Amino acid sequence: MLKDAPVLDYWVRGEFPVTCLVGGVAGHPTLPGKGRPIRTSDLWLLSEDHSCARTLSRWYRLGRPFETVHEETVLS
């Protein structure tokens, strides 16, 4: 299931009015582009190691969390 799932990069949990994920997506079946900003449908499951998530509509493989943006900028 996960091998074909889109990758959500620089993700963060959001509220809209239900819990969701927000991030830049690549490999989404209906939203073309790489790093396209999206808000997912309702978040149902977030793996303990934050490597994948299940939303109302699909599975996502999770890339880097949003917090890493600051770390990467500081280290560059």
Amino acid (1-letter code) at residue 51: S
Give the separation between CA 42 and CA 56, rounded to whole angstroms: 5
Query: What is the reported pTM?
Result: 0.74
Query: What does the pLDDT look like over 21-60, one tens digit per residue?
Result: 999 999 999 988 899 999 999 999 999 999 999 999 999 9
- By C-alpha distance, which of 34, 31, 7 is closest to 21? 7
Do 60 and 7 touch, CB atoms closer than 8 A? yes
